[in-house]
Amino acid sequence: MLATIERLGNRLPDPAILFVWLLLIVWGASWALAGIDWNLIDPRDGAPLVVRNQLTGEALTTFLSNVVPTFAHFHPVGVVLVAMLGIGVAERTGFIHAGLRGMLAITSPRLLTPMLILVAIASHSAADAGYVLVIPLGGVLFYAAGRHPLAGIGAAFAGVSGGYSANFLPSSLDPLLAGLTQAAGQLIDPDLAINPLNNYFFTAASSLLIVGLGWWITDRVVEPRLRGTAVDGDIQDLPKLTPLADAEQRALRVAGLVMLAGLAALVLTTLPGGSPWRGPDGGLTEAGAPLMRSLVALIFILFLLPGVTYGVIAGTVKTHRDVIAGMTWAMQSMGYYLVIMFFIAQFVAAFGNSNLGVLLALKGAQALQALALPAAITVVGMVLLTGLLNLFVGSASAKWALMGPVLVPMLMQLGISPDLTQAAYRIGDSSTNIITPLMPYFPLIVVFCQRYVRGTGIGTLTALMLPYAATFLSVWTLFLLLYWRAGLPLGF
C-alpha cells in the first residue's frame, strides 16, 4: 500500500505547479460558493459567514498588488532562511558534523532513534526551530551512523510535527490554545477560568508515548522498507562514523564552550523580573514575548559563533570569506524551496481571504454536533474531524479559533470539560501534519530528503510518514480515552 501511495504521489506535478492548481481551485470554488447563504456566524467577528469571491476585479487587483508582500512576509520563508545562515556556517566549517560524530561515539546505536525523537519533541518549545534544525540533523545523524538518512529525517519529522502537541516543556502554544478555550467555554459558564497549562500532564505523558511509537515505527517499519532505496544524492561532504582527530577534538571542545557561554548569557539575562526578554505579563513563553520572537535570530547567533570558532581552530576557516561562503552555500541549497514557497504563499493568502477554510471548519463542527453521539465517540469524532481539517488548514490556533466556539460549549453540555476537548483537538491537530503537502514546511522536508535520494517527491515523503500519522492518530486517541477513563488530571 505504501509503495502504491509513493508511486501515485510522485506522479503528481512538481509541488510548485501543484500549488498553482490549488490556487486556481480556490478561485473557482470561491466564485461558485460566494452567493450562498450558509446560515453560519463567523466566530472571529460575530458577523454572518460569507465566502468571498476571489475572481472579482477588486479581488484580483488586490491579489496582484500584494504578490510581493505576501511572499516577503510569509512566515516560514524568513524563519528558514535566517536560521540556515547560521546553521550553514556551522555545517560548512565542520562543527555540526564533528559534534554528531562525537555524540555517536558515546551513544548506544540502539538508543539513537528514541534520542532523536526526544530532541525533536523538546524543540517544540522553540516554535518552528525544529523544522530547520532537528530534521536535517536527523538525516546527517543516521547517515553518519551507517543507517538510512531518510529514516532519520522521518523520525525527526514525526517528533517535531507529528507529535507537535506532545511535550514535557511548556511552549507558547499552551497559553494560546488555553485562551481560546476559555473564551469558548465562557459562552456557557461566564466564570470559567482555564489554566494555560491545562493539558500539561497529558502532553508530558504523551511525549513518552510518541517516543515509544516513533521508535518502533522507525526501526521496525520505516527503515526496513528503505533498504531498497539507494542513497544517490550529493553526500560527499557528509561525515562517516570515524574517530575525531586531535585537532577536531580540540576545536570541538572550544566551540562547545562558546555555545555554552552563549546559552548561559541568554539564561542569565532572562532571570531578572524586569528582563527585556519578558513579555507584557512578565512571562518568557507568552505570545509576543521578545524571547519567543527572537528564537530564530538566537539560533543564527548560537550556531554562527561556535561554527566560526571551530573552523578557525580546525583550519577550515582561513578568512572571513570562508564564513560568507558557508552562508552562500546554505542559501544555494534553498533555491528550490524558495520557488515552492512563492506559490504556497499566494495559495495560503487566497485560501484565507476566501473564507473557505472557515466554512470547512464550521460545517464540520456543525455536522459533528448534529450527530449527537455518545461522549466517548464524540471525542473520537472530534479527533478525526480535526485531523481531516488539518490537511487543509495548517495553523493550530486558527483552526481552534474557528472550531472551539462550537465544540467546547457543545461538549460542556455533554459533561466533557473544556480541558478534555482541547486535548482531543491537539491530537488531531498534530497527527496529520506530516502527511499534508499543504503544511508550509512539507516542501522543505522534501528538499532535505532530496539531498540523499534525488528522486524524492511528495509521494515518497507521504509514504514515509503515513505509518507515523496513522499510528499516532489511533493509539494517541486510545491513550486519551484510557487517560480520561482513569480519571487522571489532564493538567493544572
Residue 371 is predicted with a pLDDT of 82
Of 46 and 56, the structure prediction assigns the larger pLDDT to: 56
Residue 28 is predicted with a pLDDT of 96
Of 395 and 83, the structure prediction assigns the larger pLDDT to: 83
Residue 420 is predicted with a pLDDT of 95
Name the grid cell of 409.
Answer: 460549549
Of 125 and 148, the structure prediction assigns the larger pLDDT to: 148
- Four-residue CA torsion sign, 77, 78, 80, 86: positive
List, for residues 216-227, the tens digit of each pLDDT value.
999 999 999 999
Of 288 and 193, the structure prediction assigns the larger pLDDT to: 193
Residue 242, pLDDT > 80, answer no
Whether residue 356 contacts residue 30, with contact meaning beta carbons closer than 8 Å, is answered with yes
Residue 126 is predicted with a pLDDT of 62
List, for residues 164-221, the tens digit of each pLDDT value.
888 887 776 787 788 889 888 887 788 888 888 899 999 999 999 999 999 999 999 9
CA–CA distance, 137 with 142 (Å, rounded to integer): 8
Residue type, 258: V
Name 231's Cβ contacts closer than 8 Å, sequence gap at least 6.
143, 148, 149, 452, 453
Residue 237, pLDDT > 70, answer no
Of 209 and 134, the structure prediction assigns the larger pLDDT to: 209
Q: Mean of the pLDDT values across residues 125-132?
A: 71
Q: Mean of the pLDDT values across residues 387-409?
A: 81
Average pLDDT, the chain: 88
Which pLDDT band holds residue 236 (cuts at 50, 70, 90)? low
Residue 88 is predicted with a pLDDT of 87
Residue 450 is predicted with a pLDDT of 92
Q: Mean of the pLDDT values across residues 275-282?
A: 90
CA–CA distance, 188 with 156 (Å, rounded to integer): 41
The model carries a pTM of 0.79
Name 439's Cβ contacts closer than 8 Å, sequence gap at least 6.
161, 394, 433
